[in-house]
Amino acid sequence: MARFAARRLLGMLLVLVAVTVIVFVIFNVIPSSDPAARIAGQRGATDPQLIANINREWGFDESLPVQYWRMMEKVFGGDLISYTTRQSVDEQIWEGVPATFSLCIGAAVIWLSLGVLFGYLSAVRAGGLTDRALTILALVGISMPVFWLAAIFLYYLTFKVELFPSGSYVPLTQNPLDWAYHLVLPWLTLAVIFVGFYSRVLRSNMLDAMHEDYVRTARAKGLSDRQVRTRHVLRNSLIPIVTLFGLDFGVVIGGGAILTESIFNLQGVGQYAAEAIENLDLPPIMAVTMFAAFFIVLFNALVDIAYAWLDPRIRLGGSAR
Amino acid sequence: MSEALLAVRDLRVEFVTEGGPLRAVDGVSFDLSPGEVLAIVGESGSGKSVTAQTILGLTRSPNARIEGTASLRGEELLAASEAELRKVRGDRIAMVFQDPLTSLNPVRRVGDQIVEAIRAHRERIGRGEARGLTVEMLDSVGIPQPERRIDDYPHELSGGMRQRAMIAMALALDPEVLIADEPTTALDVTIQAQILDLLRRLNRERDLATVLISHDLGVVAEIADRVLVMYAGRVVEEGALDEIFYDPQHPYTWGLLGSLTRLDRERPERLPQIRGAPPSLLDLPAGCAFRPRCPHAFGRCTELPALETRGGETAGHRDRCWLTPGEKRESRAVGGRIALEEAR
């Protein structure tokens, strides 16, 4: 376990270095990304002295490796400042975290429970009417783009029927009911594609598992159909779902919710990232990218631990990469 | 013969497939008495496993048509509801399968799987008590340190230990009938002998009626009392163990015996085999299904012979072959031993 943790920690560091270098390089080669011009604004176009001053003041005249190093120092020192708003990037991210986590965790609960429920029902009634209806639903869910679904929700449920608020985030500590009420549509928007996907994966896993020898053994022991399905078929079919879930959840927290957050104006980390990208504002882009990479790597490690726990044939450390 | 514990009459199993109806089992009948070991022998696809699994309702599906009767102490099984059958499975008729690695759930502890079998039938037995029973069972099938092994996962046990655990699971509720479907096929030869010893011991100690399914006459010779030889879904010969081994009536049985390696005889240069392959169950030849592979086939073989006493010396020794007893005695002697003559 210690070896596993050490290797994962080292891996995380390497990933973070690689990701930040790539972001930094890309930022410096794309056109019109010169930060001095952005900071100078309108006046910069006519006043080369101002640009030069800014370059010196912010260190943009240094070589790229030095600039990269300075930026990393600021990231880990916690005093990274946005080029455009001059606000502390750390503070902005911390402010966005509750909204992002509320959105992602809530959506995850929905997609996991509905995905498993629909997949189970589909597999049990394979070939029947329920299965066909759920199959169509799943395919519709998988095919619907997030922005389109969100627009439909907003148009019909918010403007036409006025059933739900159009978005924005209410802190959980302020009013739990309002918090949930404001998040219902974003949760559904984010969860739909995963519900469809998970139910399909679980269905096919379960149908495969039903033909396994150990399922025949379980029936020969005299277990009821339901016991065989839950204790043997479902139990074993959930292992890949757990893997998928860990990976997807890491991705969603680390930026997969950008569209949903922006459309529903949740002021989360994803929306912050979207704005930073729009303004070509390197410090927040860098910080949010690292935030994302951190969660993706973290959940990858958690998935491996969960996997070893769920399937005793797999050992951590050992021969795994 | 004492009254039959398990009586199967005219069992027919047909599966609807894309290639048409597939008759896996065609009119199988047998009786099993308490304490008796009945072996069902045949190649893969001969219908022996389907016969056994159908008795427990494990082949039931919308695509299966099942006819005939199977009664356990007079209680009809084939027509029983799923709920009634569930009470029989594991409790009164238990089953052991071929590959103990795939037949045990790989992600659950061996002990838990045995406890589960106990508690499926005895709701009043608590977890702790069931665990105690499981340790006892593991011990009685010869698993060392059962109180530690109970918490192992299947992959942590050796092949032989896994099959012992499967047998412990099958016998945990003291069933009347044990169906062992190729219980030694997936095991090393030395382990095979140990498992057969174990089955024979349990059969004697518990007066356990056993149906042993095997393709290996060597295994059958070790422990069977009576033998049913199946070919393409039909019983082609049945009789007591000695009758089958020393006075076989059906050419297919001769072929099986001929392909046995024997330690008490000089080894032939090339192991004899039955030429050709078993017929497709979707497209069986008319009459005797073994006809296309049989060097002794003649005109009458296009008619299906009934299973009855022909050349055998007791009423229990029956076969499906048109050859006269004299022809049979003459034809089966090949080079001083019983075998199926190579193509004429």
- B contact residues 167-206, partner A, Cβ 8 Å cutoff: 169
What the block records as the tokens of A71 is: 């930026």
Tell me the C-alpha to C-alpha distance, in Å, between residue B275 and each of A76, B102, B259, B272, B299.
78, 32, 11, 9, 20
- Biggest CA pair distance of chain B: 67
Quick check: A213 and B86 CB within 8 A?
Answer: no
Return the structure tokens found at A293.
Answer: 């990479």
Tens digits of per-residue pLDDT, A266-282? 888 989 999 988 888 88
Q: Which of B97, B107, B153 lies at the smallest CB-CB distance from A217?
A: B97
Out of B103, B117, B153, the one facing A214 most closely (by C-beta) is: B103
Report the Cα B289 to chain-centroid distance in Å. Answer: 20
Decide which of A41 and B27 is more confident.
Answer: B27
ipTM of predicted complex: 0.87
Residues of B in contact with A224 (CB under 8 A): 86, 120
Portion of chain B with pLDDT greater than 70, in percent? 95
From residue B318, alpha-carbon distances to B79, B215, B306 in Å are: 28, 20, 9
Coil, helix or strand at residue A108: helix
Residue with tokens 């597999």: A123
As beta bridge partners, residue B69 has: B9
Single-letter code of the amino acid located at A13: L
Of A213, A227, A236, the CB nearest to B102: A213
Cβ of A312 within 8 Å of Cβ of B121? The answer is no
Whole-angstrom distance, CA of residue A285 vs CA of residue A274: 9
Cα–Cα–Cα angle for A300, A305, A310, rounded to 5 degrees: 120
Annotated domain spans of chain B? 6-224, 249-338
Q: B138-177: per-residue pLDDT in tens?
A: 999 999 999 999 999 999 999 999 999 999 999 999 999 9
CA dihedral A173, A174, A180, A185 (to 10 degrees): -120
pLDDT mean over A178-194: 90
Token duo for residue B97 = 């399968």
Which of the listed CATH numbers 1.10.3720.10, 1.20.1250.20, 1.20.120.80, 3.65.10.10 matches domain A95-310?
Answer: 1.10.3720.10
Residue A261 has which token pair? 């957050």
Measured CA angle at B125 (ends B120, B129), to 5 deg: 115
A27 contacts: CB under 8 Å, gap ≥ 6: A33, A280, A282, A285
Closest by alpha carbon to B195, among B146, B142, B153, B137?
A: B142
**Yes or no, beta carbons of A236 and B105 under 8 Å apart:** yes
pLDDT of residue B344: 43
Chain A: residues touching B (Cβ < 8 Å): 212-214, 216-225, 227, 231-232, 235-236, 239, 310-313
Q: What is the pLDDT of residues A116-151, one digit of tens each?
A: 999 999 999 988 999 999 999 999 988 888 888 888
pTM: 0.83
Contact A231 B116 (CB under 8 A): yes
The DSSP code for A44 is G
Taking the domains of chain A in order of start, what are their residue ranges? Answer: 95-310
B-chain residues within 8 Å CB-CB of A218?
105, 116
Contact A123, A207 (CB under 8 A): yes
A219 contacts in chain B (CB < 8 Å): 58, 89
Count Cβ atoms below 10 Å from residue A7 Cβ, excluding itself.
15
Residues B279-331: tens digit of each pLDDT? 888 888 999 999 999 999 999 999 999 999 998 889 999 999 999 999 999 88
Alpha-carbon radius of gyration of chain B: 21
| pLDDT tens readout for residues A45-54 | 778 888 888 8
Please tell me the distance in Å from A312's CA to the nearest CA on chain B. 6
Flag whether residue B108 sits within 8 Å of chain A, measured between CB atoms: yes
DSSP 8-state assignment for residue B225: S
CB contact under 8 A, B104 and A217: yes
Q: Which residues of B touch A231 (CB under 8 A)?
A: 108, 116
Does domain B6-224 fall under CATH 3.40.718.10? My reply is no
